[in-house]
Each structure stands twice: as C-alpha cells, then as structure tokens.
Amino acid sequence: MRYLFEEYELDTGRRELYRDSSVVALTPQAFDLLDYLIRNRERVVSKDELIAAIWKGRCVSEAALTTRLNAARSAIGDSGEDQRLIKTLPRKGYRFIGTVQETHGASMAVADSQRTAPKNASSFPTSRRSPSFHSPI
C-alpha cells in the first residue's frame, strides 16, 4: 500500500518514505508510528494504543514514544509546534490530519527513477546489415 500526502509518499511494501522521489531517512519505529497513524487517521489514537502497536507489548516509556513521534514529524516536515500533519490532542492521543490518497502498485518514486534512468548501451537494438556507403567516384 502507498499513502500519498502533500509531497510525501509512504510505501509500506518497501518500508520507505519519499519526498519528491527522494528517500527520507526514518527509523523502523518512526516508520511504524507514521504508518499506524495514517492507517487510523479517521480517529484519535491513544499513547497506550501506539505503544502496544509499535512496541508489541514491551514496556517502554512515554519519552521513547515522544522521541519516535518527533522523528516521524521531522521526516514529514512537521513539528509539535506546527502540528500540520500530526495533531496532538492533550490527554487523548494523536491523529494524522493530512489529506491522504491511498494507492496500490509500484511506488511513484521508483517508477520515476526507472523512467529517467539511462539505458544500458547493450540494450539498444543494432542492425544486422552492414551500413551502405555511396562512393562519389
């Protein structure tokens, strides 16, 4: 599944985040957190639910969640101050509020890079005939 929002693309199959066809560095837990918030964007997700979903029941502090949330926000050009895409609802949780388009198939970033990649010289067809030359004499 691919989620497109603003100039970003979250490709869950490749586990990569792209911005304008360039890969954006994101830790696995920050990726999972962003993915979970986008998939559940129609509702508020509590801190406890995020911890259970991302850390699979391991005991972690709220500071660990906050660190991963800040990393996810930073990767998509958001911040706790702006809350342009990930909104904090005090004492309730978090919600992804950006407009998202879901799509299947190859990543737009991958498709773009394949379309613009130079072809290998050996992949060009060659003629089996010898070129004909016309002599002026």
pLDDT at 38 over 90: yes
* CATH value at residue 80: 1.10.10.10
Domain region containing 84: 2-109
Give the pTM.
0.77
Domain count, the chain: 1
Q: Can you state the angle between helices 28-39 and 62-75, rounded to 10 degrees? A: 80
For residue 98, is it within any domain? yes
φ/ψ of 107, rounded to 5, equals -60, 140
pLDDT digits (tens, 9 = 90+) for 120-131: 444 334 444 444
Q: Tell me what pLDDT residue 104 has.
A: 86
Calpha distance 123→24 (Å, rounded)? 32
For residue 125, is it within any domain? no
For residue 47, is it within any domain? yes
For residue 79, is it within any domain? yes
pLDDT digits (tens, 9 = 90+) for 68-105: 999 999 999 999 999 999 999 999 999 999 999 999 87
